[in-house]
Each structure stands twice: as C-alpha cells, then as structure tokens.
Amino acid sequence: GDSVTQMEGPVTLSEEAFLTINCTYTATGYPSLFWYVQYPGEGLQLLLKATKADDKGSNKGFEATYRKETTSFHLEKGSVQVSDSAVYFCALNSRQGAQKLVFGQGTRLTINP
C-alpha cells in the first residue's frame, strides 16, 4: 500500500540555520503531496502542496519540490525562526481531490534562539 517515510526527529537547529526535512513516498499512480505543520496543542495546518511531478509548493519561506524520479518531497527553508518550532508531517493522497491521506510519522523541529 501507499506509504510515506520522513526523516526521524527530533531536529534541533539554531535560528537562521538552513532546514531540510526529508520525505520519500511509495504510491501507485500519481499522488498529490503535502506538508502539514502542527504547532503545540493544535490541529494540523496545510503548509504547502504539489499535485504533479516537478511542481514546487511554497509558503512562509518553506519550499518542497515533487520529484517523481526519486519519489521525494523534501521540505526546505533557507533561514528558520524560533516560531517555526513545530511538528511537520509529510502526506500523500493517491487520487486527485480530497481522498484519504497517508501521513509520515512526523518530524519534531525545535529552533533555538
């Protein structure tokens, strides 16, 4: 079945550091790919998405490119802030439109001042 694998956390960085959180997937067909962020005590917020190969999703300085050849959707940010501390989830759905999402295990990110 479809699956998502994220780099294990927790990840701790200093403010203004470069961030990469790796995400790879296994899916039949052509999934849409997502990054969600969960701040402490809250639900998930959609951070960015990409619906087809080579698409780049971006939001709030975060970027991720849909790489079909490597089945990856790595999250990057050039300069992180303390307010970026949260848990980040990579996810896919295997069909266009809102169907079931398959989540990675989540990566906890802590940014120190």
Q: Which of 31, 75, 106, 111 binds another protein (CB under 8 A)?
A: 106
Per-residue tokens: 73: 């959707």
- Assess 44 for contact with another protein (CB under 8 A): yes
Q: Could you give the 3-state DSSP secondary structure of residue 84?
A: helix
- Assess 21 for contact with another protein (CB under 8 A): no
Number of residues counted as binding another protein (CB under 8 A): 21
- Assess 103 for contact with another protein (CB under 8 A): yes
**Piece of 17-25, 34-42, 64-72, 74-82 that binds another protein (CB under 8 A):** 34-42
Per-residue tokens: 113: 């001042």
Nearest to 35 by CA among 26, 53, 17, 22: 22
- Assess 60 for contact with another protein (CB under 8 A): no
Give the amino acid at 34: F
Q: Decide whether 62 or 89 has the Cβ nearer to another protein.
A: 89
- The enclosing H or E element of 53 equals none
Q: How many CB atoms lie within 10 A of CB 44?
A: 18
For binding to another protein (CB under 8 A), which residues are involved? 34, 36, 41-46, 49, 89, 93, 97-101, 103-106, 108
